[in-house]
Amino acid sequence: MPTATLSFFEIPARDAGRAAEFFRAVFGWGSVEVPWAGARYVRLVPPESAEKPGGGVLERDGSGLVESLTMMVRIEGEPLEAALERIVGHGGAVALPPVQIGEWGRFARFTDPDGNSFGLWQPLGSG
């Protein structure tokens, strides 16, 4: 049977450099311009993580937890609200304020300046 693994993500943007700057300002991610013959491509460089990428399917139920494909960003060492303040301060918007998810953690959703949807996840006790 063939193998299919999660590889990487790409975020559509009108201006790749401006989008990379948003993620640097909000999350501290580095970036590297990738030379090639196509449209401008800036690779984001988030910190290394021992956690492997995973995923799941969440049924739409009108709660606002998921409305479209959502890339999840794990936040540790500060409250979700602090990350959301930076997001808004740099041109993003809060799509769903932080909500408690069972005994596991807290979730919030935001859009970047290009309207792409992202989730913020924070395990309980890590903020």
What pLDDT, on a 0 to 100 scale, did the predictor assign at position 3? 75
What pLDDT, on a 0 to 100 scale, did the predictor assign at position 66? 73
What pLDDT, on a 0 to 100 scale, did the predictor assign at position 58? 78
Decide if 39 is inside a domain. yes
Q: How many CB atoms lie within 10 A of CB 81?
A: 14
Stated length of the chain: 127
What pLDDT, on a 0 to 100 scale, did the predictor assign at position 20? 96
Q: How many domains does the chain have?
A: 1
CATH of the domain at 80: 3.10.180.10
Q: Are 126 and 76 in contact (CB under 8 A)?
A: yes
Q: How far apart are CA 124 and CA 34, in angstroms?
A: 37
Decide if 25 is inside a domain. yes
Phi-psi region of 92 (alpha: psi -120 to 50; beta: other; left: phi over 0): beta
Phi-psi region of 121 (alpha: psi -120 to 50; beta: other; left: phi over 0): beta
Decide if 59 is inside a domain. no
DSSP states of 85-112? HHHHHTT-EEEEEEEEETTTEEEEEEE-
What pLDDT, on a 0 to 100 scale, did the predictor assign at position 126? 80
Decide if 29 is inside a domain. yes
Stretch 43-57: mean pLDDT, rounded?
A: 86
Between 58 and 14, the higher pLDDT residue:
14
Domain extent at residue 106:
16-48+68-123
Read off the pLDDT of residues 55-102 as tens digits, 9 standing for 90 and up. 888 788 887 777 777 888 999 999 999 999 999 999 999 999 999 999
Read off the pLDDT of residues 17-39 as tens digits, 9 standing for 90 and up. 999 999 999 999 999 999 999 99
**What is the pTM assigned to this prediction?**
0.87
Q: Does residue 12 have a pLDDT over 90?
A: yes
Decide if 4 is inside a domain. no
Structure tokens belonging to residue 19: 């989008």
